[in-house]
Structures are given as C-alpha cells and as structure tokens.
A and B are shown apart, each in its own frame.
Chain A
C-alpha cells in the first residue's frame, strides 16, 4: 500500500491542481450560494467557505467566487485599492491564471470578471460584466450590534432602527455623518448591506448598475449580491445629503482628473487617481506615447552605460545610490565628465563648480568627500552629477521622490 507521501511524489506534476483549484462539488456549492444571493438581493447567504491558498482576510471570499464562476473564455482583471500592480492583486491574479489559464487585462472595459478589493472601477461597466468584491466584514450592523442572534433578527424583520439612531447621533455630535468607507446601503428596498469597504465615492455606481456585483466574505462565510438594475440607496436622512469624498482643489497630478476617486500623496502634497489603469489611459490620451518606445531598463548593460554617458541620466531617490561617497563632490561630477571624454582638468573643475553653484553647494566644499555632506547637500550634489554634460535627465521615481529632503527646490528636468 502506498503512503500519501508516495502518492504525492508519484504524480506527474505534484503541484498540478484541477481547473480553478477547487473541486467541482465546492464550485457547485459556491454557485448555488451566488444564485441564492442574486435571487434575494442584499441577503447574506451562508456558505461552506473553503480554505484557500491565500490567508483568510486576504481575499479568500472573492477568490472563491471568482474560481466558482470562471470559465476558460473569461477575461480577468484583478485590482487592489484600484491598482492592478498591487502585490496582493498580483498574487491573486497569478493564482487564478495558474489554475485556469484565462486571459487577463488591466482595462476594466475588456474584462468579463473583475475581482476587486475596496474599489469599483471608474469606467462605466456594462451588461454581462461581473464585479467580484472581497469583503472583510459582511455585517453592516456590527458597529451597532455584536450579538449574532440579535443581528439575524434585525435583518429578518428589516429592523434597522439602531443603524438609523447611530446616524442620527453622528449628526448631532459631529454635524456630519462620519461613516467613511463601507457605507451602509439599502439594497432593493429590503436589506442593508456593507459596501465592502469601497469609498462612498463608489456607492452611486452600484445603484441601478448594468453589471452584477458579487460580494464574498471568506472568513465570515457569507456571499451576497447586487443584481443588475437594483436600487442601492445609501442610508441617510431626507434632509441630509449623502456625501462622497471630496477635497477642494484636489486633482490628479498625472491626468488632471477631478472626476475620479483621488488618493493623497503626502510630503509632496499631490493627488493621484486611485484607479491606476483608468488614469494611465487618460495620461496616454493626453500625451500619446510615441511608437518607438524602448524600455531602457531591459536594454543590454553596455547600451545602458553608453546611454547614461551621452544621452540620459537617472536621478536616484536615495542620493547615495548614485554617488560615490568616498569621492569629493567635484570628483563625482568629474567621473561623469571623464566618461564622456572630458580630459581638460581646468575645464572639468570649472564645469563642476558651475554645476555645484547651481544647486547651491558651497564651492568651499567641492573637494570634500560626499560622505561628509549632510542629507540636503549630498542630495543636491547628486543632481549636477546627473547632468554634467547638459544631457536630458529623468527622475528614477515617478511620482516625484516623496522622501526628498527639504532643500532649495531643484527644478524638474
């Protein structure tokens, strides 16, 4: 008789799992729960949540729905906080692709299934698209009631008075409703749901939407849904407007949008679109990317070096990465000049002092090793090193380096 270890070792590829990871029985169970959820909009359907190859609280509920409903011809988009490149989004996407082989996209309009954590894409989604939301806490009333038996009664009798009282008290004490994300909404005039936590900004997009929203809470073992063309009303008083997030004067520093959910970049005090792909497409529309674009980082090392000498410079966010700390400020510049063929000592000195003067490094320090400089000074001296020959330069960070120490502003090149 074989042991389990032998059986595991004996498989052709012991890491091969079935299509969409879960066994068919489990997928059927998830689909049944989804159907019930669609039939009773907003009702939290209990289901026998499986343990997934991601930890609970990391999107295991959304992942189960996606794997339960996905087919080989689906096109998938996965986002975390609006971003396709988020590391957890990347991990979930990789898991789904590895076990299904489906095609992926970052364009919300092309996807048939969009699995998301805490955002609804800015694009108008259409009929036939499914939005799968990862839900940490499915119970909208938990802030006002902890007892599960009482919670079941409240939902059963549509008794949401405690929730209303909390909104009332909020207004009395604070003058505004302070609920931030996951704003409680009444679905189809019957059940109050927790809106994942998506920002309030996204709640109106769920109202009378063309697409289907499925909410999966793996840890708490609940699935609920908002079918297409269903009323979704944020709870608020008739004479108190429901407020979405808004900050006066905020606009995306990349695409200048004022009509999307914006997140703040502290330090540099800039705003950026939370939906990165939507923003990218707007940026591309504003400044069409020329066709002969090359990824410099993927070029051969010697080509990169040549580019650095003659054509391009990289300014590192951490100045020490681009500077030789043992060499003087002037020497750092000389390194670049000599690489570009400069051989006249006097001219090298003159050019170095000219450049250092432009970033206000005192000339008396030109011959001091950079490691003796303060943070502001070595950061400043990293700039002239990057453009001693007057070539175009680009920053290694995008958006602008937020950890740059406060120094006299060096204009962006």
Chain B
C-alpha cells in the first residue's frame, strides 16, 4: 500500500524505458546482429572493451547495441555487468615481448630493428567519403570474398617475428646508454584500481591502469591541454614503439599448476621517448613513458604514454598526477555531469535563502548590477594617477 504515493515516478520511468526499448527493438531495417557489430564496428567495440575494462567482444557489442551506439553508456553497461562477476583467478604476468604484432611502427628510426609493419591502418588513406553505391560496394565485397587470401595486402598477417621477439627501441637506447634506467629490482603486485581507490602518490601501476580504462577523449584533451593549453607539462616527445597485436592470457592450471595460454587479448602498446631537459635532469639521456590499453586504440595509448612520462617527470610538483588519476574516467565524469539533470530543489531553496540572508545583513548592498561598473570606474581613476 505504501508504494502508491511513489507510483507516479515509477510509471513515468517505466514509460520512458518502454519507449526506449520499443524504439530500439522495433524498426524498419533488419535486426542488428552482434556479429555485425563485432565485425564491422570493430573500433567502437574495442573502445567499449577498453573503457569498460572487460575483454568480451560479444558483451561489448551487446552493450553498444543496447546503448544505441553511445560508447560511454555502453562502457557503463559493461562495467556494471562486471560488478556481478566473481573473480575466479588471476592471470600470470606476460611480457609485452610476447605480443604477436599485427601492426608495428617506429617513428624514431627509418630502419629500426625489426619491421615497420603498417597493418590495418587508415593513417595513410585519403579521408575521402566512400560514395560508391550500395550495390557496387556489395559487388566488391562478393568479388573480394572469392579471391585468394594468400596475398599479404589482403590479410591481416601477424608478423611471425622470424625467431624471437622483435627488439624494441627502448632496448636499443639502453644498449647505447641513452635511457635513464628506472627499472626496479623488487617485483610488487600491481595496484588493483577496481578494488582500491587511487590518490596521488599511488604506485605507477595504478596510474597506468587508470589511463588504460580512461575515456579516450579525456586523455586526448589532457594531452592537448599540456601542448597548447594552460598546462605545460608535456615536452618534445618522440614515439619509439606503436604496436597493435595479440597478447596471450596465461593462467596456471588449478590441477597441474602449470601456466597455460587460455586465449589472447588484443592490445595497443606505445613507448614515448622524452628528451630530458629539466635543470635537475640528466641532459645526456632520454626517459620513456609507457602506454598499453585493450583493443586497437592508438590515440589513447599515445596520450597515455605521454602523460605517464609527464607525471614521472613532474614528480608531484603540480596537480598533473591528480588530474590523470581522478579526472579521466569516462563514467565518473559523464555520470556526474549528467546528474545535474536530477532535481536540486532542496539545495536550490537553501541557496536562495542564503541570498536573502546576505541581503538582509547588508541592506545597502542591493545594486548587484551597477556594483561592478562602479568598481571598474574607480580602478580606472586609480590607474590614471601617476605614480
């Protein structure tokens, strides 16, 4: 019986929910299958997995479809689903050298050790809107499907490495003694940001995991603020490695205790080399920032690597670390922003009451409109007086 008074709100939200569901499910076009989303909207699915923090293409596709293409909303669905999953095991650490590259470029050298493997990229394709007719495009698809796929330019062929892992640029710099050595001798457990909140001063692993799950746009913006905006913690950066590939997931068998590969996740990995030019820094060496995120998302991994080295070099002098740790999560920022749509009548009433109290306390200070004008005028007069 007690529910009755609360019925109005429930009916309203149920109606809104039904409207969304109906509009999403019913349409003149064909049913949108999960396989279409995972196959044809690959990068959107990768973003949802990365920002949602769960490698599960079908789940991400389901979320994207339910969210009508809204990446943040889809990530929210994935993460809240993740909250219900029991943690069964921890994977074994794998080396990034175990990555099977689908793409690898090294901007710092023309001929780096190992290949420059362009792979599946739009970087060097003219950004021309494909205006071929639907039937022509479908005809092309049919033709391509029947062609032999053994030609390298038609398949995404992982680089087999030709025996052993591809040497990374950081190794080259280390060999030449050009890299600051920040390798640690102990091997601490990585900081788990899904179980512990972060605050400035947390280990670097917390910073890296935070950025790996951060919203791509937030990282790009924070990066650009530091390049052209008011914050200037970013310096001359050269990219060492940009890789996209498959990284094995390895767990110990609960029976035999032997590590076995149970599958892979695709990741993007970036190393960003910074020229150390600070007064108290080693001018004879470089330092390197690291970025790695789930899925194919080079924009994000590059911003991440750049911000990582910037926070290291900043050494807690500015609020950069706090910005990275606390302001880049897409769900946090969007959720809080959108909560402004909730009713705020209690808080607003309290604010209005204080405005009245201030006016009552200072009855002559009512001319809010002309006050600033007067102030500007008087400042002018003062400045005109010669010193």
Interface residues of A (CB under 8 A from B): 3-5, 8, 17-18, 21-23, 25-26, 29, 46-53, 55-58, 60, 80-91, 93-94, 104-107, 110, 117-119, 136, 146-149, 152, 174-176, 178-182, 197-201, 219-222, 243, 245-247, 261-264, 274, 276-277, 280
- Please determine whether B5 and A280 come into contact, CB atoms closer than 8 angstroms: yes
6 examples of A-B residue contacts, CB within 8 angstroms: A22-B83, A55-B335, A56-B331, A58-B338, A90-B12, A176-B360
- Please determine whether B322 and A51 come into contact, CB atoms closer than 8 angstroms: no
Q: Provide the residues of chain B in CB contact with A3, threshold 8 Å.
A: 58
- B16 nearest CB neighbor, chain A only: A87
- Please determine whether A197 and B353 come into contact, CB atoms closer than 8 angstroms: no
B155 at the interface (CB under 8 A from A): no
Main secondary structure of the interface of B (DSSP, over half): helix
- Please determine whether A52 and B83 come into contact, CB atoms closer than 8 angstroms: yes
- Please determine whether B87 and A25 come into contact, CB atoms closer than 8 angstroms: yes
Using known A-B contacts A110-B2, A176-B361, A180-B351, determine if residue A51 contacts B80 with beta carbons closer than 8 Å. yes
Q: Give the docked Cα–Cα distance between A247 and B352 (Å).
A: 10
Binds A, one of B135-143, B248-256, B341-349: B341-349
- A91 nearest CB neighbor, chain B only: B13
- Please determine whether B9 and A85 come into contact, CB atoms closer than 8 angstroms: yes
- Please determine whether A178 and B331 come into contact, CB atoms closer than 8 angstroms: no
- A198 nearest CB neighbor, chain B only: B346
Using known A-B contacts A23-B86, A26-B83, A199-B346, determine if residue A175 contacts B358 with beta carbons closer than 8 Å. yes
Q: Provide the residues of chain A in CB contact with B157, threshold 8 Å.
A: none
Q: Provide the residues of chain A in CB contact with B10, threshold 8 Å.
A: 85, 90, 93-94
Q: Give the docked Cα–Cα distance between A221 and B325 (Å).
A: 13
Q: Give the docked Cα–Cα distance between A409 and B352 (Å).
A: 28
Q: Which of B199, B336, B354, B360 contacts A57 (CB 8 A)?
A: B336
Q: Give the docked Cα–Cα distance between A222 and B326 (Å).
A: 13
Q: Provide the residues of chain B in CB contact with A246, threshold 8 Å.
A: 353
- Please determine whether B86 and A81 come into contact, CB atoms closer than 8 angstroms: no
Q: Which of B200, B334, B346 contacts A119 (CB 8 A)?
A: B346
* Chain B 194-209 interface 0/1 with A at a Cβ cutoff of 8 Å (1 = within): 1111011100000000
Using known A-B contacts A23-B84, A88-B342, A180-B347, determine if residue A48 contacts B194 with beta carbons closer than 8 Å. yes
Q: Smallest distance from the beta carbon of B209 to chain A beta carbons, Å?
A: 13
- Please determine whether A81 and B345 come into contact, CB atoms closer than 8 angstroms: yes
Q: Provide the residues of chain A in CB contact with B331, threshold 8 Å.
A: 51, 55-56
- Please determine whether A56 and B332 come into contact, CB atoms closer than 8 angstroms: yes
* Chain B 348-370 interface 0/1 with A at a Cβ cutoff of 8 Å (1 = within): 01111110111011100000000
- Please determine whether A219 and B336 come into contact, CB atoms closer than 8 angstroms: yes
Using known A-B contacts A47-B197, A81-B343, determine if residue A176 contacts B2 with beta carbons closer than 8 Å. no
- B349 nearest CB neighbor, chain A only: A263
B168 at the interface (CB under 8 A from A): no
Q: Give the docked Cα–Cα distance between A136 and B362 (Å).
A: 32
Q: Smallest distance from the beta carbon of B43 to chain A beta carbons, Å?
A: 20
Q: Smallest distance from the beta carbon of B5 to chain A beta carbons, Å?
A: 5
Using known A-B contacts A58-B339, A107-B2, A149-B201, determine if residue A53 contacts B80 with beta carbons closer than 8 Å. yes
- Please determine whether A178 and B356 come into contact, CB atoms closer than 8 angstroms: no
| A-B complex: 4 closest residue pairs judged by Cβ atoms | A175-B361, A56-B335, A55-B335, A57-B339
- A103 nearest CB neighbor, chain B only: B2
Q: Provide the residues of chain A in CB contact with B349, threshold 8 Å.
A: 199, 245, 262-264, 274
- Please determine whether B350 and A178 come into contact, CB atoms closer than 8 angstroms: no
B385 at the interface (CB under 8 A from A): no
- B194 nearest CB neighbor, chain A only: A48
- Please determine whether B3 and A106 come into contact, CB atoms closer than 8 angstroms: yes
Using known A-B contacts A84-B5, A148-B199, A276-B5, determine if residue A55 contacts B339 with beta carbons closer than 8 Å. yes
Q: Provide the residues of chain B in CB contact with A104, threshold 8 Å.
A: 2-3, 6
- Please determine whether A263 and B345 come into contact, CB atoms closer than 8 angstroms: yes
B56 at the interface (CB under 8 A from A): yes
Q: Give the docked Cα–Cα distance between A404 and B352 (Å).
A: 24
- B197 nearest CB neighbor, chain A only: A221
Q: Provide the residues of chain A in CB contact with B313, threshold 8 Å.
A: none
Using known A-B contacts A90-B6, A280-B5, determine if residue A219 contacts B335 with beta carbons closer than 8 Å. yes
Knowing that A51-B79, A219-B336 touch, tell me 11 more A-B residue pairs with CB under 8 angstroms: A8-B62, A55-B76, A81-B343, A90-B13, A104-B3, A107-B2, A118-B346, A136-B336, A181-B350, A245-B353, A276-B5
Q: Smallest distance from the beta carbon of A271 to chain B beta carbons, Å?
A: 10
Q: Which of B59, B199, B338, B358 contacts A174 (CB 8 A)?
A: B358
Using known A-B contacts A57-B339, A219-B332, A263-B349, determine if residue A51 contacts B76 with beta carbons closer than 8 Å. yes
- Please determine whether A49 and B346 come into contact, CB atoms closer than 8 angstroms: no
Q: Smallest distance from the beta carbon of B52 to chain A beta carbons, Å?
A: 9
- Please determine whether B338 and A21 come into contact, CB atoms closer than 8 angstroms: no
Q: Give the docked Cα–Cα distance between A280 and B58 (Å).
A: 49
Using known A-B contacts A49-B197, A90-B9, A176-B361, determine if residue A58 contacts B84 with beta carbons closer than 8 Å. no
B131 at the interface (CB under 8 A from A): no
Using known A-B contacts A4-B56, A17-B84, A245-B349, determine if residue A48 contacts B322 with beta carbons closer than 8 Å. no
Using known A-B contacts A23-B84, A119-B346, determine if residue A84 contacts B6 with beta carbons closer than 8 Å. yes
Q: Provide the residues of chain B in CB contact with A107, threshold 8 Å.
A: 2
- Please determine whether A82 and B83 come into contact, CB atoms closer than 8 angstroms: no
- A151 nearest CB neighbor, chain B only: B199
- Please determine whether A51 and B82 come into contact, CB atoms closer than 8 angstroms: yes
